[in-house]
Amino acid sequence: MEKKKKKKKSHFPFRLNLLFFSVFVLFSILILRLGFVQIVYGENFKRELERKEDVTIHNPVPRGKMLDRDYRVIVDNIPKSAITYTYMGESQTQMIETAEKLAKLIEKDTKKVTLRDMKDFWILKYPDLAEEKITDEEREKFKEKELKNADIYQFKLDRITGERIVNEDGLVTVTEEDTDLGMLTEGDLEVLAIYREFSSGYKYTQQIVKNEDVTPEEYAIVSENLQSLPGVDTTTDWERAYSYESTLKSILGGVTKSDEGLPAERLDHYLSMGYNRNDRVGKSQLELQYEEVLHGTKAKVRTVTDKQGNVVETQVVSDGNRGKDLVLTVDMDLQLQVEKIIEEELWALKKLPGTTLLDRAYVVLMDPKSGEVLTMAGKRIFKNEKTGEPEMWDDALGTFTMTYNVGSAIKGATILTGYKTGAITPGQRFNDAPIQIARSPVKGSWTYLGTVNDIEALKLSSNVYMFHTAIRIGEGYYRPNQPLPLKPQAWQTVRNNFAAFGLGVKTGIDLPNEGTGVTGNQTLPGLLMDLVIGQYDTYSPMQLAQYVSTIANGGYRMKPHLVKEIREPVDDGTEEIGPVFQTIQPTVLNTLDLQPGWMDRVHLGFKKVFQEPGGTAYPYFQGVTYDPAGKTGTAEAFYDGPERWRFGKEPPAVINLSLVSYAPSTNPEVAMAVLVPWAYQGDSENKANFRIGRRVMDTYFQLKGQ
């Protein structure tokens, strides 16, 4: 029998299993290795990746300029050397080390160093001594979580001895050497002042360390040592320069300082617009109103840092562009002349009897057809606190923020309101005899004027004509020595119509914080009569200018504006201005709803005021060649100025003087408002409104001729 051959056993399953096992072991090793790398070296690799990330730093650029209507520079930027610091994530220790190095190269003012700054710095400099300020009992409470880190730190601050003292030279010193703060030397305080600037900035934002009085030597030596000063750089900063010094400065506005940061009240707004927290921004008036135009586009610098946060590579992505330029409607030659007139007249008027309370005057000149403000001038007399002598200050701001009783200047609005409501008809006549309401003082004109019509009432400034107009608007019936009931809606009717001229409402001028005036809240019949002659509600010089412009141009309330054009910046070192970015077009806010001929009668009455014998302005404007028209105003008021505290509850009675005008009367090119609050008191009298108004109008047409 043939032996069967044994079947040969296959090794394939064994080898396959061995392969799978080997793969499993290798993958296990790989997973373990990845886990080990992630846990042990993860942070190092993360920092390595972060080192290669591009960080873009936005550096501020100079603001746009401001120019007058003839392109003369009013506000510019003056370049100046600056030393900056950009926080890139360094530790406190690294920042202090850099501050110590920098303190050896520059001189840093220590005036801004506070007592709290000194205590914080002392804790950093002497941590062991600071720990000794904490008792064992307090440490136990901290371990048991009865006290927090903030509590322990506050204990240290409270127990540090020593005070902050500023000597006669303005330098910060400390008390005796045996105090804790006495351990800080003058050199330490200088380091602290620099470190304070370092730590006040935000990550990846440039912070000014020193930009005042940086000497060429300081700038050069810091530039040479930048490699050993991480985060520090030398650059060119700027500050605002005013070509005409204080002229119009209160209107031009101000800019925050480099160490102020964004205003808290508008912080969220600016952050949403991409601003850094330490950016400088406009904080008042034109600088604030046109911030987004003036601010410019920031320069972009891309940086690469090493593991310690040191900058190892920089690349300028874009240089940025300074802000756009504002071309204003103001004529600086005219502005300067008008301010000079106000100053001269105020000083002269102060020498007259009864003018002890007179301290200010305002003038606004406007193009009645476009709303362009040609001049807005105001001056105030202040007493110098050190010398006790009076000084003249710019108060152009008061032309639209301060309001006063203005008197008869607004009677043109009263007449047109009377026409529109049907209270009076063109040519209607009233006897100018004084009005006597029961249990009220007699109310009359400045003198008895006979029987007058609407035009004569404007020319001669009849109060009684306006009183009868107000009575009819209120649907009342006047009987001497009897009560005079009027419908309450008469008040709103008058004010609504006055608002159509710009009286008692915002004019819309392109400046913040405009005042609208004080509206009386009583509704006695006699007060409605005061309202229609400008002796109840209060108005600003800018409102008067808009009002008279509305009459001058035939019934269009134009929005006053100070900016004429916005221009692209040019930085090629020439005197050329950039191309037009935007032209501010005239804006009609509303149109008066008038029948034909109504405005013509007011125009004629206003012309007679200035050009016909008997007109209240005729003695002061007779003979001029520029064909003026307008209205005068005298208001009885009570003093409410800075010396109000002297008089207790009974302020003295004063007279406010006003004047509104336009010229030429047939085709007006300029409208004027003059307001002199508290011009005189008692039996004294002066013609401040005429003296200033005549000289201003003469000056305008003289400059035009030149």
Q: Which residues are catalytic?
A: 408
CB 179 within 8 A of CB 68: no
CA pair distance 521, 533, nearest whole angstrom: 17
Q: Helix/strand/coil (H, E, C) string of 210-222?
A: ECCCCCHHHHHHH
Token pair of 198 as six digits: 């370092």
User: Which positions ≥6 away from 88 have C-beta within 8 Å?
Assistant: 55, 203, 204, 230, 231, 303, 305, 309, 310, 311
CB 563 within 8 A of CB 531: no
CB 631 within 8 A of CB 411: yes
CA pair distance 430, 410, nearest whole angstrom: 19
Q: Select from 107, 120, 111, 104 the least CA-distant residue to 184.
A: 120
Q: Select from 289, 319, 303, 243 the least CA-distant residue to 61.
A: 319
CB 66 within 8 A of CB 328: yes
CB 375 within 8 A of CB 341: no
CA pair distance 279, 257, nearest whole angstrom: 9
* Neighbouring C-beta atoms of residue 34, cutoff 10 Å: 10
Burial category of 337 from C-beta neighbours within 10 Å (exposed 0-12, middle 13-18, buried 19 and up): buried
- Strand 580-583 and strand 563-567: the pairing is antiparallel
**45: enclosing H helix or E strand:** helix 42-51
Whether omega before 677 lies within 30 degrees of 0, making that bond cis, reads no
CA pair distance 62, 79, nearest whole angstrom: 9
